[in-house]
């Protein structure tokens, strides 16, 4: 089935923010709650809106902890954010092929744009939907629905949602689009497999083959 629209999660999918996110969580959980939380535990929160995750550790303190997280995150952002190998070439080829591209992220729009800028991906995407633009968030379908509305598209098999977390895959399923999980995710494969992605891509180049090979 041909794909004419590809929607991406941002963190851990398009840009490598894994070290930054882990460091930010560990900082706030240690300083504010006295908790030493391993990276393997934090990985399971990837893709989830920040206030929801903070509420798991300290209900009622979501705003305080999220603000503390963001202060540390922004102070260390540019030093820790990196590109994934092969992502630029893949995005270039998709754009040249006329594929509509979008970002659907659980991050706020301003911080998402900062990450794209640091990695040199400004202007690559036709739309970007952040968590501050919808009432409901992943795994609910609303973020993808808004992205498609902005692109002038309807849900269907021609739309591919690509992500590194169960929240991304479930959001795609709930929105009625095709899904792909990325093999460069730090989340355990069996956890991702539980969301039943339609496709797996082990490297950005494989994503290119999946999308363009179906045309």
Q: What is the DSSP string of 106-137?
A: SS-HHHHHHHHHHTT-TT--SEEE-GGG-SS-
**pLDDT band at residue 1, thresholds of 50, 70 and 90?**
low
* 87 and 205 Cβ atoms separated by less than 8 Å: no
Bridge-partner residues for 127, per DSSP? 102
User: Which pTM was predicted?
Assistant: 0.90
Q: Residue 215 pLDDT more than 70?
A: no
**pLDDT band at residue 214, thresholds of 50, 70 and 90?**
low
Q: Is 9 a catalytic residue?
A: yes
In CATH terms, the fold of domain 5-16+82-213 is Rossmann fold (3.40.50)
Phi/psi at 206 (nearest 5 deg)? -70, -30
* 55 and 33 Cβ atoms separated by less than 8 Å: no
Bridge-partner residues for 178, per DSSP? 160
Residue 47 confidence (pLDDT)? 81
Question: Of these residues, 9, 11, 164, 168, which one is catalytic?
Answer: 9
What CA–CA distance (Å, rounded) separates 121 from 11? 13
């Amino acid at each position: 089935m041909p794909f004419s629209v590809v929607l991406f999660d941002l963190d851990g999918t398009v840009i490598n923010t894994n070290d930054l996110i882990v460091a930010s969580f560990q900082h706030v959980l240690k300083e504010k709650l006295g908790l030493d939380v391993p990276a393997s535990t934090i990985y399971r929160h990837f893709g989830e809106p920040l206030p929801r995750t903070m509420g798991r550790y300290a209900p009622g303190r979501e705003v305080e902890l999220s603000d503390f997280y963001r202060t540390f995150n922004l102070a260390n952002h540019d030093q820790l954010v990196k590109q994934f190998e092969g992502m630029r070439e893949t995005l270039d080829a998709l754009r040249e092929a006329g594929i509509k591209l979008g970002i659907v992220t659980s991050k706020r729009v301003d911080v998402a744009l900062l990450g794209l800028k640091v990695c040199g991906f400004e202007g690559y995407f036709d739309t970007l939907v952040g968590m501050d633009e919808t009432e409901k968030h992943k795994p609910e379908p609303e973020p993808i629905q808004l992205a498609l509305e902005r692109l002038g598209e309807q849900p269907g098999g021609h739309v591919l949602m690509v992500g590194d977390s169960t929240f991304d895959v479930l959001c795609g399923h709930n929105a009625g689009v095709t899904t792909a999980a990325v093999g460069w995710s730090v989340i355990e494969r069996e956890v991702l497999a539980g969301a039943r992605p339609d496709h797996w891509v082990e490297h950005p180049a494989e994503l290119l083959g999946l999308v363009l090979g179906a045309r």
